[in-house]
Structure 1
């Protein structure tokens, strides 16, 4: 499948093919939900998504995965080296680092604004220095670079049926919603790294602080105040998902099934967290394999419908055009509830 994707994208240079292959393997190994959704894109667009994910993963590994082996000084130096490679790759179109090489090629092919990569690296740098956020506004400023820009990077690859700037707020919001979901799911693991992404004022409103979270993590004991704080962050996250919904219909029809699938699967993590009783300090909540399979199958059906409509349209004959993405009012009302299902 890798060769078919690269051939479809017109990537023929051996070094580039190897670079994109490296990114694809990173996506398959670490971004299981994201990788599953990516497979619903047209073949020629998948390598670009793998490159964007691969670079984000590389930076995240420098900041997080090496934490147990290296101190802040070493990680800071490694991150600075990655940033230098990035700047050189974007400027010259060439780099010895295969992940950066693939990213630079993707940025050139899709004319992705280089500021999005600079903002991303700035947020990665802050992870070496900042261990908590006083308010949601402070967290949102961080998430612009760590999450919103990921949605903005993806938009040129996905394509839109409206002017790109019209779709950008929703794309940025979806990136933020995905990251907030990860923050809630990984709150225990992040605490082990010395970080708390849940805003301090939200925790304080429920009688919780960092020490209380550490106590729960260490002892395995639960407390209703912690559950209340986690539920409040879930409510904030669901509200961000709702602001992202209009953007689904702004994407090109062949890209909608991919993003819809990611939307449902990531939102399903919130459902799993709630169903597990908000035990994220002690165990990771996941979407079950049967549920993932059902969502993926639905995405495949939508892909086939979109491609059939596209072929019919290209031949100038009437086709069955997929209805615009819309959110079921039963599931996505104003009050927080289970993950919104896209009709």
Structure 2
């Protein structure tokens, strides 16, 4: 992370700067689409987005790692993080940065508690009977991530919070669609059992190998469901602070583009992990870089020690 970003964010303590850099590296390594989108934010917002992403990724890896899952460590680390948030400070770099961001932007601890509860659910729950059941899980695993980001991004209308929840769900459902084969290796099926039943699909049909037509139809059904979530979430982007809109639009299109790649792959998510190509990512993000720079020029300088609202002279 550049010193300019940390300076802009008012983060001067050397240890804390190092903690934020740890989170930035997690974002860069594991969230290429998110990381690219984050570069469109004003410098003072970027470290805090990296911190929130780093926290979610670090905690998720305790249960999702394909090589060394450690669910017991998730429980202990999560409890220690919550204690640190309540008392202030942590020796763990990810916890230190995330806790600092939560304090600065007054992010409710309840959001983190809900997230950790969903991560713990992955230890014992391997399938979901209905879509409503899955949405209950996604509230903690994804919707609250959107809600955590809102204070950092800034809003011009509080209705943005509802749309942020929906966008978090859209991103999560996109992950579930893309990772069907990978999640089965972990012993989990996130696509609702009621949907499998409707298309005549059994969990063993989701193993690597020839893809049955029924599986392709099931995946397309979930793709269409995810696209409806994106469509519902989209109006919320214009309710964000103008300097954050291009970042979120970029993430919206980059992650939504995974659904296009799923279709382009013939709905085969059992034998490969589809991705949005680097040239396409750059084609999406490039024009937004210019728009983001213009938005920053239209916004008057503000003090960056807490939640922000728009100080723009124009909301176009």
Shift of 1:311: 4.8
Shift of 1:270: 0.4
Report what 1:329 is aligned to.
Answer: none
Report what 1:11 is aligned to.
Answer: 11
SS at match of 2:299: helix
Task: Name structure 1 gaps, 5 residues minimum.
Answer: 313-318, 324-343
The size of the alignment, in residue pairs, is 306
Shift of 1:320: 8.9
Counterparts of 1:89 and 1:203 in 2: how far apart (Å)? 42
- Cα RMSD after superposing both structures: 1.5
Q: Is the 8 A contact 1:88 1:95 kept in 2?
A: no
Q: Is the 8 A contact 1:18 1:98 kept in 2?
A: yes
Task: Name structure 2 gaps, 5 residues minimum.
Answer: 302-311
- CA shift in 2, pair 1:210/1:36, >3 Å: same
Counterparts of 2:300 and 2:145 in 1: how far apart (Å)? 30
Q: Is the 8 A contact 1:88 1:94 kept in 2?
A: no
Q: Is the 8 A contact 1:305 1:322 kept in 2?
A: no
Shift of 1:310: 2.0
Stretch deviating more after TM superposition (288-297 or 139-148): 288-297
Q: 1:40-61: per-residue Cα shift (whole Å, max 9, x none)?
A: 1000011110110111111111
Counterparts of 2:315 and 2:272 in 1: how far apart (Å)? 39
Report what 1:303 is aligned to.
Answer: 292
TM-score by length of structure 1 reads 0.86
Task: Please point out which of 104, 108, 117 is paired with 1:113.
Answer: 108
Counterparts of 1:69 and 1:240 in 2: how far apart (Å)? 33
TM-score by length of structure 2 reads 0.94
Counterparts of 1:171 and 1:115 in 2: how far apart (Å)? 16
SS at match of 1:127: helix
Counterparts of 1:287 and 1:80 in 2: how far apart (Å)? 33
Aligned pair 1:207/2:195, yes or no? no
Q: Is the 8 A contact 2:42 2:296 kept in 1?
A: no
Aligned pair 1:291/2:280, yes or no? yes
Q: Which has the higher contact order (CA 8 A, sep 6+)?
A: 2
Q: 1:73-125: per-residue Cα shift (whole Å, max 9, x none)?
A: xx332012111221122112211111001111000110101100000000000
Counterparts of 1:306 and 1:68 in 2: how far apart (Å)? 43
Shift of 1:207: 0.7
Q: Is the 8 A contact 2:59 2:78 kept in 1?
A: no
Q: Is the 8 A contact 2:261 2:276 kept in 1?
A: yes
